[in-house]
Each structure stands twice: as structure tokens, then as C-alpha cells.
Structure 1
Amino acid sequence: MNSVSVRALLVRGMLAGLVAGALALAVAYFLGESRVDAAIALEESHAHDHGGGEELVSRTMQATGGLATGVLVFGVAIGGIAALVFCYVLGRIGSFGPRATAALVAGAALLTVYVVPFLKYPANPPAVGNPDTIGQRTGMFFLMVALSVLLAVAAVIFGKRLAPRLGNWNATTAAGAGYVLLIGLAYAFLPSFNEVGTDFPASLLWEFRLSTLAVQATLWTAFGLVFGYLTERLLVPAARTASSAGDRTAPRPADAVS
């Protein structure tokens, strides 16, 4: 793939990430912010009881400008990174077209970057968690992300090397089983944090975590669909044009005989 195609795909990936970020922003605002407000109300009630401090950034700014900036910038960033991954894996993971490859990249990213770390270290709303351990909890979450991504890459490489001997299906199954096993070991040996107070409503905690999962699912699903559409419009006509040019330059049977 030449540099022009990579640049064009990078731009389309960032554009798709922006569109996906806008849709994820809508989900985060309409589905998640009410849960955040409820959690903050609980936090403020305890702060008044114990003499809490004044907030540095207003809640209105957090729920509007801050949320929009964070989600949209994140969408553009992950769109660019996913586009580069797409450039590398296209044609290397089977005979998948641009749309199917984009869907596979988006699905793998959702699974490895968010779902697997989320199952070990789920998101917590305000008023949940010990402030003294926030640095350790954040570090463990990003360590889990790194482990998940690296093990997924290793599983793909392992599966491709096993494919000539075991066949694609058996090799994929073996690689997937190895990934699940190693992730399970990481779950078992990495520290866990159970800092949810007994007075925090379990239903609110569950709804908040589901809303964060919905935001990520919307982001990656929308990215896969939009980016797949854009890449197919870019790459499929170019491939057809190159094929037509090759057919015109190839000698016809009559010319070859003469």
C-alpha cells in the first residue's frame, strides 16, 4: 500500500472517528450523565456531612464542554490509530474486503481495548472508590489494556503460524484459547479493588457501568460501519481501475498469434 493510500485512509479514519465520537457523545450525555448526576448528589451529601471542599470546575461545564471535548478528541485519536492498524492488516488476515476488515478491526479493538480490561477493572461513578488508590487503579487498568492488546497481537501471530499445519479453524481456536487462558491468569494475579461502599445503590452502580459500556460499543460500532463504507469507496474503485488498466494493456489472443 503506497503512502498516498495510507494518508487517505488515515484521514478517513479520523473522520470516521469524529462521527463515531459524536454518536458516542449523544449516548454518554443522554444515557450516562443522569447516573453521574445521581452519584454526585450522593457524594455531595456525604461531603456536606464531613465538610467537603468547593469544586474547581462547574458540573455544567463538565457535562457539556468537557464531555464533548474529551469524547470527540478521543474519537479522532482512536480513528487515526485504527486506520493505521487497518492499513497493516488488510489482506494479511484472510481474503476479507475493506468493509469486513474494518468491522474486524473495530470489533477486536472494542474487545481488547475496553471489554477485557473492563471486566477486571470496571468503571466507577463519583463517590465510589478510595481517593488514595486512584493512581494505582488507573495504572492497573492501563496495564490490563496493554496486556490485552499485546496478547491479542501474539494470538494472531500464533494462529497464522499454526494455520498451515492445523487449518484456519483449528489454528484460530487454539490461538483464541491461548488468549483466554493468559487473560484469565492476568485476572487471577493482578490486584483487585472492591471499594464500593455498602451504602451506595447497587442499581445505580450497575446502570452507570452499563452506560459506559454502551458508549464504547456505540463508538466502535459506528467507527467500523463508517470507516468500512469510506474505505470501500476509496479502495474498491481504485482496484477496479487498476484491473481494467491491466486488461487493456494485456495482449489479445489474436495479437499474440500474429
Structure 2
Amino acid sequence: MLQTLKRGTVAGAVAGGVYGLFVWLVLNPFTAALEHAGHGHAHDHGGAEPVVSELTTAVVSAGGGVLWGILLGAGFGVAYFLFEPALPGEDLKGYVLAGAGFLTVSVGPWTVLPPAVPGAEALLATELRIAIYGAMMAVGAVVAVASVLAYGRVSSRRGRPAGLVAAAVPLAALAAVAVLAPSFVGGGEVGAELAVAYRWTVVFGQAGLWALIATTFARLEGGPDATITTSSTTAYPAD
């Protein structure tokens, strides 16, 4: 377990570094632009202080992105050690696990509480939002497990295409929740198109982070064959 934890942590650090750059170069400027669009009077403050403040905020948020990647990578390593035998896909097991993590940590909660857009007003108290977020993380985990189990059972009997269709059923149910769930975010001064673009930018960043963790995790051991080699060595030790 210690070895997979180390691999996951290193993979998370690498992916987190890339994600930190994404936050710095893409997400932070987008956020600042939306904030200025919603509060045009923010440009009226002269002097160097706003520049220093924005730079400090950018550095802190980018560093937070790196730490977030390390945290996810460590959790990925532990989860891979625990659940690797049950994951389908042979050489794609890491990506299946990354998809399950993305569903659990991000997609599940976002079906009810989408990424907050600068300038939008939250209609729920912070404590309630946290409770809903945690509950939807559990829902996302259940959907991920149900999708993996459905694929495994159906594909073993009727082939991979049927298995993929079965795996998509829980995902479609989660998508239906996103469509039917009421909005818990009030309208801000940012246009609807910009709000949608901002949310998809956040989604893209998180999806890319998980994909980079899975890719780096596999490459750290020379690819997916390392798992097979390790298992063979354990099962048949040298005399």
C-alpha cells in the first residue's frame, strides 16, 4: 500500500502542478474578468495595492491547486490499492478509478450545487450547502460503483457494448438529477452565457486533473504492465 500511496502522491503532485498553472493562467483571469464585469466600479481604485492583492490571490489559489492535486493523488493511490482487483478495463483501470473519483468528488455535488460563478448569490446557508455537498458526494460514489458493477456483470454475459450501455444507465440517472434539481444559486450580474462558460471551464479543469493523475500514475511504473508483473512476482516467488 505504501508504494501505491507514494505513486499516487507523486502523480498528484505532477498533475497538481499542471492544474496550478491552469488556475493561474486561465481560471484566475476568467474569475477576475467576471468580477470586474459585475462590479465595474472596482477599476476606480488606483495605486499598486490592488495589483499586489490580485497577485497574492493568484499565487495562493494556484498553490491551492497544487495541494488539491496532491490530496487527490494520495487518495487515488489508496483507492487503487484497495479496489484495483474489482476495476474493469485491464490497462484502463486507473482511468476507470479516476472517472469514479471525478464522479464522487465533483460531478455528484455539481448536479445540485454547480460551480459558483463570481457575483452570483447563494440562496442557502453555508452549513446546509456543506451538508448537501457531502450527501451528493455519497450519491456520486454510489453511481460510480453501480456503473462499474453494471458493466462487469452485463459485459461478462453479453459483451462489451452491452456492458457500456448498462454502465451508462446510472450516469443517465445522475444527469436527470442535474436537470430536475432546483437551482440553489441566485442570479448575479454576469450573463447566462458567461456563467455557463465559467462553469464548463471549472469542469474541464477538474476533469483534466483526474486524467493527469491517472496517466502519471500509470507511467510512474512503466505503464499498466507493472501491476501484472508485481502480481506475478507475488504469486510465484523465486525458490
Q: TM-score, normalised by structure 1?
A: 0.72
Distance (Å, rounded) in 1 between the aligned partners of 2:5 and 2:166: 33
User: Taking every aligned residue pair, what percent have the same amino acid on both sides?
Assistant: 24
| Cα shift at 1:151 | 2.6
Correspondence 1:222 to 2:212 = yes
Task: Show the counterpart of 1:35.
Answer: 30
Distance (Å, rounded) in 2 between the aligned partners of 1:33 and 1:184: 28
AA matched with 2:79: V
Task: Show the counterpart of 1:11.
Answer: 6
Q: Deviation string for 1:43-83 (max 9, x for gaps)?
A: 544789xxxxxx9x94332211x213321221111111111
> Which structure's relative contact order is higher, taking Cα pairs within 8 Å and 6+ residues apart?
1
| Cα shift at 1:35 | 1.5
The answer on whether the counterparts of 1:155 and 1:175 sit within 8 Å (CA) in structure 2 is yes
Distance (Å, rounded) in 2 between the aligned partners of 1:178 and 1:207: 26
Unaligned runs of 5+ in 2: 44-49
Secondary structure at 2:186 match in 1: coil
| Cα shift at 1:106 | 1.4
Correspondence 1:205 to 2:200 = no
Q: Which residue of 85, 88, 94 maps to 2:82?
A: 88
Task: Show the counterpart of 1:69.
Answer: 63
How do 1:224-239 and structure 2 match up within 5 A?
224-232=214-222, 235-239=227-231
The answer on whether the counterparts of 1:9 and 1:231 sit within 8 Å (CA) in structure 2 is no
User: In structure 2, do the counterparts of structure 1 residues 20 and 139 end up closer, same or farther at CA, with 3 Å as the change threshold?
Assistant: same
Q: Which residue of 111, 134, 147 maps to 2:139?
A: 147
Task: Show the counterpart of 1:253.
Answer: none
User: In structure 2, do the counterparts of structure 1 residues 147 and 126 end up closer, same or farther at CA, with 3 Å as the change threshold?
Assistant: same
User: In structure 2, do the counterparts of structure 1 residues 145 and 95 end up closer, same or farther at CA, with 3 Å as the change threshold?
Assistant: closer
Distance (Å, rounded) in 2 between the aligned partners of 1:224 and 1:141: 24
Distance (Å, rounded) in 2 between the aligned partners of 1:206 and 1:95: 33
Distance (Å, rounded) in 2 between the aligned partners of 1:84 and 1:35: 34
Unaligned runs of 5+ in 1: 1-5, 49-54, 250-258
AA matched with 2:210: W
| Cα shift at 1:163 | 6.1
| Cα shift at 1:245 | 5.5
The answer on whether the counterparts of 1:15 and 1:76 sit within 8 Å (CA) in structure 2 is yes
| Number of positions where the alignment pairs a residue of Structure 1 with one of Structure 2 | 231
| Cα shift at 1:21 | 0.6
